[in-house]
Structure 1
Amino acid sequence: MHVLILGGTTEARALAGLLHARPGLRVTSSLAGRVARPRLPEGEVRIGGFGGADGLAGWIGGHAVDAVIDATHPFAGRISFNAARAAATAHVPLLALRRPGWVPAAGDRWTSVPSLEAAAGALGGLGERVFLTTGRMGLAAFAGLPQWFLVRSVDAPDGPVPARTEVLLDRGPFTLDGERELLARHRIDVLVTKDSGGAATAPKLAAAREAGLPVVVVGRPPVPADVPVAATPEEAAAWVLGPV
């Protein structure tokens, strides 16, 4: 049995590790190639795009893939819809692996918005020193704003950025003590984040809560209709392996 994991996330690597050593199971993880030095999973790895839904369907058929798991980032919306179309074309089952989103706690000052553009529009009046943790893609939405931005991402931005920007290259997991120090050192008064979920980057939310800072949270795009969803790598592995 050949399983294709559309990966690049912590959950995708964990799933590849769970499946890799299983007898009679071949696992290929596909990475988009947008990160310069990705953390590679166990098993076979391919890097690069497929050329849209038709290209992915052709790859599935040409490599005798029996099942596909979309374990991409919750905000990688295009590949998820391409995967749904490709799996339907190739007549193979598809599962989406999505970590649960964050839930506000007592004391949080969240403003929920549907997009990066809406996040940029919501910043007026919330603060002048912005901690922007939405990744290096999509920074153009904030490029025309007058606030000062601390942009944290794994790789350096390669598109338009706000005029007053400091870039911090770093990769999670992050600690609560580290996030507290970062907010204080840069005198941050508002945080902008995507609802990525997971524990690796959640400490910034706790640090913002402690400091009483407003947080602008960009909501996730939907999973394609009729695609089943697993919340953990263990659930996804059980979907592949069936009853034990």
Structure 2
Amino acid sequence: MSGRVLVLGGTAEGRRLTEKLAELPGVEVVYSIAGRVAAPALPTAAQIRVGGFGGVDGLTSYLRDAGIAAVIDATHPYAALMTSAAITGSKAAAVPLLVVRRPGWPETDGDDWHRVPSLAAAAAALGGFGERVFLTTGRSGIAAFAGSDRHWFLLRSIEAPSPPMPARMDVLLERGPFTVEGETALMRGHRIDVVVTKNSGGLLTAAKLVAARHLGLPVLMVDRPPLPPGTPAVATVEDAVAWLTRLVGATDRSCTG
């Protein structure tokens, strides 16, 4: 196959995957991000595309007009709307799709996790866990906690949040990776009662869970949105590279046979 691959990125996996795919002969990579972060980390070996596609119809048209031969969705595990659009748009354009989803964090001995299905459910459950909340769900989810007036929040985010927001809140503008020692000191210093997070997986931000375990703190864990049944998915960059390599080989054989 001599063609273009669209990587829907915004994650460390997406960047690493793009660099790997760019090494394959005959493959040109377009790396697409939503553009919500002012200074995003970007791969060097790809054409960069910033901004939305204009919904499913816009994505479908882009795939056809740009000659995209395969789509790999390496967005955040909670970017459900983008993933849904990618699945629908790639099917409409008859373009092969693969989803890359890093494994979630496993619950281990000593953890005090309380699983909830959504940010709204996490906000509703806060009443039983103390008043001081370490919120690491990102700025886009802060609105779900805007009505929690009896709680104080420490929000950690890459960029500053926008209203609506909780009345009592401090903001830490930081990007991982974080250490267990640093997370432990942070939670102790702010007298945190409960941690609220998404099960994003990965190493960059896992230290907060170890720190919470050491401190005996409860964690409200927002479950991932499930992928639609039958969606092709892998857990690692290496598996995604292998998928595209097989696709390249199959396409080349069909063209020469």
TM-score tier by shorter-chain length is: over 0.9
1:17-96 mapped onto 2 (5 Å cutoff) = 17-42=19-44, 43-96=46-99
Deviation at 1:178, TM superposition (A): 1.0
CA distance in 1, matches of 2:72, 2:24: 17
In the alignment, which residue of structure 1 is the partner of 2:12?
A: 10
Deviation at 1:158, TM superposition (A): 1.3
In the alignment, which residue of structure 2 is the partner of 1:223?
A: 227
Deviation at 1:22, TM superposition (A): 2.1
In the alignment, which residue of structure 2 is the partner of 1:111?
A: 114
Deviation at 1:159, TM superposition (A): 2.3
SS across alignment from 2:127: coil
CA distance in 2, matches of 1:178, 1:13: 26
Deviation at 1:127, TM superposition (A): 1.4
Give 1:25's aligned amino acid: V
CA distance in 2, matches of 1:2, 1:69: 11
Pair 1:186 & 2:190 matched: yes
In the alignment, which residue of structure 1 is the partner of 2:155?
A: 151
Asked if 2 retains the 8 angstrom alpha-carbon contact of 1:80 and 1:224, the reply is no
Aligned residues, how many?
A: 244
Q: Which residue of 157, 162, 167 corresponds with 1:163?
A: 167
Deviations along 1:175-194, one digit per CA (max 9) or x if unpaired, are 11110111111111100000
Deviation at 1:48, TM superposition (A): 0.1
CA distance in 1, matches of 2:132, 2:121: 18
SS across alignment from 2:49: strand
CA distance in 2, matches of 1:159, 1:239: 42
CA distance in 1, matches of 2:228, 2:28: 26
Q: TM-score, normalised by structure 2?
A: 0.93
Deviations along 1:81-131, one digit per CA (max 9) or x if unpaired, are 100110111001100000001111101011000000000011112111100
Q: Which residue of 204, 213, 221 corresponds with 2:217?
A: 213
Unaligned runs of 5+ in 1: none
Q: Which runs of 4+ in 1 moved over 2 A?
A: none
Report which of the two structures shows the higher radius of gyration computed on alpha carbons: 2
Deviation at 1:168, TM superposition (A): 0.4
Q: TM-score, normalised by structure 1?
A: 0.98
CA distance in 2, matches of 1:222, 1:182: 32
CA distance in 2, matches of 1:89, 1:159: 37
Q: Between the two proteins, what is the percent identity of the paired residues? A: 56
Deviations along 1:52-76, one digit per CA (max 9) or x if unpaired, are 1110010000110000001000000
Deviation at 1:79, TM superposition (A): 0.6
CA distance in 2, matches of 1:86, 1:125: 43
